[in-house]
Chains A and B, each alone.
Chain A
Amino acid sequence: MVLTRHLFTFCGALAALSLLGIAALILAQIGLRLMGSQIPSADDFAAWGLSASIFLALPAALLHGDHIRVTSLRQLLPARLGHGADILAAGFATGMMAWVAWAIFGYVAESWTYNDVSQGIVAVPLWIPQSAMVLGSVLFALAFAERTLRLILGLPVERDDISEQARGE
């Protein structure tokens, strides 16, 4: 289990690097435009970076308790029933995200088979930027599976801090 935590954190770091890359790319684009030049397909690269950043950070966000869920009903339940509800929720999410990962894999595999390329100035095979979605969604399903297992075994699942969750609001 320690291994998966390192994996999720590593993936989160890749997501952060991707965000850093987006910022650098857009700033470089602004600078170059002032000098009358431009980076070809910069908008495409930034958009792909965002897709990678979102998907690769999904497991790390789960680990930190960042993903929003409605806990008001859950808090009304007695401890044992509440624990049962947690297991049910994590189990449901595992199934749902496993299907999402499978469907995304199918979509990207198709894009690889038909050799779809991007529409911009630089024609890149789309399966390359899309593969971050596959990696992120597979690990996200895995993170939910691990969470379900840990809940069943009675192990801690995340760092709970409600003020951390509020940052996006």
Chain B
Amino acid sequence: MTMDILTQSAVLVVTLLLLLGLGIWVGVALLASAVVIFVMFTSTPVDAILGTTMWAHSASWTLTALPLFIWMGEILYRTRLAEDLFAGLAPWVGRLPGGLAHVNVAGCGIFAAVSGSSAATTATVGRISLPELKARGYADRLAIGSLAGSGTLGLLIPPSVVMIVYGVAAQVSINRLFIAGVVPGLMLMALFSGYIAIWSRMNPDGVPAPEDSIPLGERLRRLRLLLPVVGLIIGVIGSIYAGVATATEAAAIGVAGALLIALIGGTLNLSTFTASLMGATRTSAMIGLILLGAAFLTSAMSFSGLPAQLAEIISASGLGAPGLIAVLTVFFVLLGCFLDGISIVVLTTSVVMPAIAAVGVDPVWFGVYLIIVVEMAQITPPLGFNLFVIQNLTGRSIFEITRMIVPYFLILVLAVILLTAFPGIATWLVEQTL
């Protein structure tokens, strides 16, 4: 029994490492690892299972939320939303310690509430805020670091593509996950803004003198620029919270709202429409392939029994929930050095989900925890997508950007510790609403 699980784990790890290291596409590598497990450790007819799995997991009503939210983000990326966010928010935060650097936090927080992706959030907000901050004389460390940190809110504040992936793969309600992400997201915004304020007090050279105060009337008039995005947030997230819409329906409403914003803003034409639709389709196919590979691996695992045995070993080891979370965090951050967030999530759900359940961890809480850890992976080299996005925006080297990000990475670590010490941060709002 113990021998068997050792052999099986070794075969799985070696196969995956070998295939991924060779540069095989993640989805293909997952499918191949599943075939190896099926053939070596089960007597199941593997091709029959493949067909069933591909159909059951691709023709999924719950999963339809995924391409729709991606499309919504693609449409909004091509609108004037980022410019409007900057213009509307800037007069309100300009006189705080840290000044316009807070626009990164607030802008990312708001854009995250209409976008499911942290790379898209970083790219959309950074496209406008980085040149503006540079022109006003803000230190690059402050501007780039706060953008990279806040960009990670894209995955935590609903809607969130990675939360949908987790919800579908782990069979956890996506609506519950969406609600659970809100308070941790707001907490992270407060932590980021707090750090910006403290840093600015300690490094006055990095922040220009505050600009002249803008009269209240003008500030309020500028706030109107935020109306479309606030309306969209209410339409999408509001309908989920009120319990009147499933995630898929909220996503369809979001697509319609985003198209309306693009139409009114004058950025909607045949070429932006086609580009957004094609881009969303291809991104969904990319995620779909990984999800299908993971579903097949999960099915192989359920036949071979590895996750169940792993769960027994972990619960017998007396590690307990906090111990397991600590071990997993280190493991995930290491994994994040060479795997993307979605792959980390699907591998987790395939192999360690039963162990999570065995030590009594709430799957909704675990989803929020996993998202924050994935966010940490997004901003750590060598493979951090948000780093690539910022590299494209600024032309700085990955190494320089990484140094600027260190404090914000530590804030994410702090968020994981707080979340583990006070699980209610994630679960309280879920209990209140559903």
**Interface residues in chain A, defined as those with a beta carbon under 8 Å from any beta carbon in chain B:** 12-13, 15-16, 19-20, 22-23, 26-27, 29-30, 43-44, 46-51, 53-58, 60-61, 64, 66-74, 85-86, 88-89, 92-93, 96-97, 99-100, 102-104, 106-108, 110, 129-130, 133, 137, 162-163, 165-169
A73 with B21: CB separation less than 8 A: yes
Task: Please tell me if B223 contacts chain A, counting CB pairs below 8 Å.
Answer: no
Q: Which residue of B lies closest to A89 (CB)?
A: B23
| Sample of 22 A–B contacts (CB below 8 Å) | A16-B278, A19-B71, A27-B253, A30-B249, A44-B61, A50-B63, A54-B289, A57-B282, A67-B26, A67-B286, A68-B343, A70-B339, A71-B23, A72-B383, A85-B22, A92-B28, A92-B32, A104-B50, A106-B48, A169-B155, A169-B162, A169-B386
A66 with B64: CB separation less than 8 A: no
Q: Which residues of B contact A66 (CB under 8 A)?
A: 282-283, 285-286
Task: Please tell me if B112 contacts chain A, counting CB pairs below 8 Å.
Answer: no
Q: Which residue of B lies closest to A73 (CB)?
A: B21
User: Would A133 and B55 be within 8 Å (CB), given that A50-B67, A104-B50, A166-B119 are in contact?
Assistant: yes
User: Would A73 and B282 be within 8 Å (CB), given that A46-B64, A50-B67, A163-B389 are in contact?
Assistant: no
Task: Please tell me if B182 contacts chain A, counting CB pairs below 8 Å.
Answer: no
Instruction: Bits for B46-65, please: 1 = Cβ < 8 Å to A, else 0.
Output: 11101110110011110110
B281 with A53: CB separation less than 8 A: yes
A-B contacts, CB under 8 A, total: 230
- A contact face: mostly helix, strand, loop, or mixed: helix
A130 with B55: CB separation less than 8 A: yes
Q: How far is the CB of B303 from chain A (nearest CB, A)?
A: 16
Interface centre among B284, B337, B378 (most CB of A within 10 A): B284
User: Would A54 and B285 be within 8 Å (CB), given that A27-B256, A168-B342, A169-B119 are in contact?
Assistant: yes
Q: Which residue of A lies closest to B378 (CB)?
A: A169
Q: How far is the CB of B84 from chain A (nearest CB, A)?
A: 22
B46, B58, B71, B287: the one within 8 Å of A133 (CB): B58
Interface centre among A23, A137, A165 (most CB of B within 10 A): A23
Interface residues of B in 248-299 (CB under 8 A from A): 248-249, 252-253, 255-256, 274, 277-290, 292
B19, B23, B48, B119: the one within 8 Å of A167 (CB): B119
Q: Which residues of A contact B61 (CB under 8 A)?
A: 43-44, 46-47
A46, A56, A103: the one within 8 Å of B51 (CB): A103
Q: Which residues of B contact A169 (CB under 8 A)?
A: 117-119, 155, 161-162, 340-342, 378, 385-386
A26 with B342: CB separation less than 8 A: no
Q: How far is the CB of A82 from chain B (nearest CB, A)?
A: 9
Q: Which residues of B contact A92 (CB under 8 A)?
A: 19, 22, 24, 28, 32
**15 extra interchain contacts, Cβ-Cβ under 8 A, other than A68-B26, A69-B24, A104-B50?**
A19-B277, A30-B253, A47-B63, A51-B60, A54-B288, A60-B281, A61-B289, A66-B282, A67-B289, A68-B25, A68-B286, A88-B22, A102-B47, A103-B51, A167-B279
> Whole-angstrom distance between the alpha carbons of A114 and B289 in the complex?
28
**Interface residues in chain B, defined as those with a beta carbon under 8 Å from any beta carbon in chain A:** 19-28, 31-32, 35, 46-48, 50-52, 54-55, 58-61, 63-64, 67-68, 70-71, 73-74, 117-120, 123, 155, 161-162, 245, 248-249, 252-253, 255-256, 274, 277-290, 292, 337-343, 378, 382-383, 385-386, 388-389, 392
B59 with A53: CB separation less than 8 A: no
Q: How far is the CB of B216 from chain A (nearest CB, A)?
A: 39
Q: Which residue of A lies closest to B161 (CB)?
A: A168
Q: Which residue of A lies closest to B255 (CB)?
A: A23
User: Would A70 and B249 be within 8 Å (CB), given that A50-B63, A106-B47, A133-B58 are in contact?
Assistant: no
Q: Which 3 A-B pairs have the closest CB atoms?
A: A107-B51, A57-B285, A54-B288
Q: Which residues of A contact B64 (CB under 8 A)?
A: 22, 26, 46-47, 49-50
Q: Which residues of B contact A29 (CB under 8 A)?
A: 249
B22, B249, B342: the one within 8 Å of A89 (CB): B22
B58 with A166: CB separation less than 8 A: no
Interface centre among A13, A44, A68 (most CB of B within 10 A): A68
Q: Which residues of A contact B73 (CB under 8 A)?
A: 167
> Whole-angstrom distance between the alpha carbons of A89 and B28 in the complex?
10
B51 with A47: CB separation less than 8 A: no
B51 with A162: CB separation less than 8 A: no
A163 with B392: CB separation less than 8 A: yes
Q: Which residue of B lies closest to A33 (CB)?
A: B249
Q: Which residues of A contact B117 (CB under 8 A)?
A: 167-169
Q: Which residues of A contact B287 (CB under 8 A)?
A: 168
Q: Which residue of A lies closest to B71 (CB)?
A: A19
> Whole-angstrom distance between the alpha carbons of A47 and B282 in the complex?
17
Q: Which residues of A contact B283 (CB under 8 A)?
A: 61, 66, 167-168
Q: Which residue of B lies closest to A95 (CB)?
A: B32
Q: How far is the CB of B274 from chain A (nearest CB, A)?
A: 8
B59 with A51: CB separation less than 8 A: yes
B23, B162, B338, B385: the one within 8 Å of A85 (CB): B23
Q: Which residue of A lies closest to B285 (CB)?
A: A57
> Whole-angstrom distance between the alpha carbons of A141 and B215 in the complex?
63
Q: Which residue of A lies closest to B393 (CB)?
A: A163
Q: How far is the CB of B356 from chain A (nearest CB, A)?
A: 23
A12 with B68: CB separation less than 8 A: no
> Whole-angstrom distance between the alpha carbons of A164 and B263 in the complex?
24
A166 with B389: CB separation less than 8 A: yes
A61, A70, A110: the one within 8 Å of B286 (CB): A61
